Amino acid sequence: MLSTTTISLENFFQNAFKKAIISDDRKSLLRTISKAIAEEYKLKNVVNLNFICTHNSRRSQLGQVWSFYAAHYFNLNINAFSGGTEVTAFYRNTVKTLQKVGFEFQLVDFSHQNPTYQISIKNTKKAILGFSKLYSNPINVAPFMAITTCTNADINCPFIPTASYRFHLPFVDPKHADKSEKQEEIYLQTSEQIAGEIYFIFNDVKKLLQ
């Protein structure tokens, strides 16, 4: 088991939403996404989300993991996936920042280039696999809603045939802080921002389904 000193996952998720500073334009985008999710949920009683970024190493992984948690928190039948236009690795700093807030990581397939982790929520049986892969990898159940999280992915994926919807929700890449004194702080801030916006989306979905 890979672990670090953790804080309450639930508290972090709730506080990320409370602390989130979201512009009106961004809120409009988040509500457009939540409306599409709710509409598809009403039709199928299940929604698949696929967070896509060029390398599937940082932002798209954070989007997947926080959506995985949000589905549990809000008790929604929403599956969270992620992928890239290239295969690299689930970057170690991304893993560490998620461990820090309470996610549990179990190494299930060792690879120097691209290890696979089982990511779980403490005291539940819920788990997902985390590793870098193409957005079209068979593990990403189709059809899915595609949510691109970086400009490169949006440009490089002009057509995703298995996507029922496509939204562009960019986040600043924490990669710029790698090997700097602020590395841990920046990754945690990025995780917090993504968690807060995922909370916004899922909370809105829950309200729309009532």
Whether the Cβ atoms of residue 163 and residue 157 lie closer than 8 Å to each other? no
On the question of pLDDT at 5 being above 80, the answer is no
What is the DSSP annotation of 63-90? HHHHHHHHHHHTT--EEEEEEBSS----
Q: What is the DSSP letter of 48?
A: E
More confident residue, 1 or 104: 104
Length of the chain: 210
In this prediction, residue 4 has a pLDDT band, given cuts at 50, 70 and 90, of very low
In the predicted model, what is the mean pLDDT of the chain? 94
For the whole model, what pTM was predicted? Answer: 0.94
Strands 116-120 and 78-83: unpaired
| Tokens 């990403």 -> residue | 140
On the question of pLDDT at 1 being above 60, the answer is no
Q: What six digits make up the tokens of 126?
A: 């819920």
Q: What is the DSSP letter of 176?
A: G
Q: In what order do the strands lie in the sheet with 163-168?
A: 78-83, 47-52, 144-148, 163-168
On the question of pLDDT at 3 being above 50, the answer is no
What is the model's pLDDT at position 152?
78
What is the model's pLDDT at position 124?
93
In this prediction, residue 7 has a pLDDT band, given cuts at 50, 70 and 90, of low
What is the model's pLDDT at position 162?
87
In this prediction, residue 158 has a pLDDT band, given cuts at 50, 70 and 90, of low
CATH of 24-36+44-205 given 3.90.950.20, 3.30.160.40, 2.60.40.720, 3.40.50.2300? 3.40.50.2300
Cβ atoms < 10 Å from Cβ of 86: 16
Cβ atoms < 10 Å from Cβ of 210: 5
What is the model's pLDDT at position 6?
47
On the question of pLDDT at 9 being above 60, the answer is yes
Cβ atoms < 10 Å from Cβ of 77: 10
Q: Mean pLDDT throughout 163-168?
A: 95
What is the model's pLDDT at position 151?
80
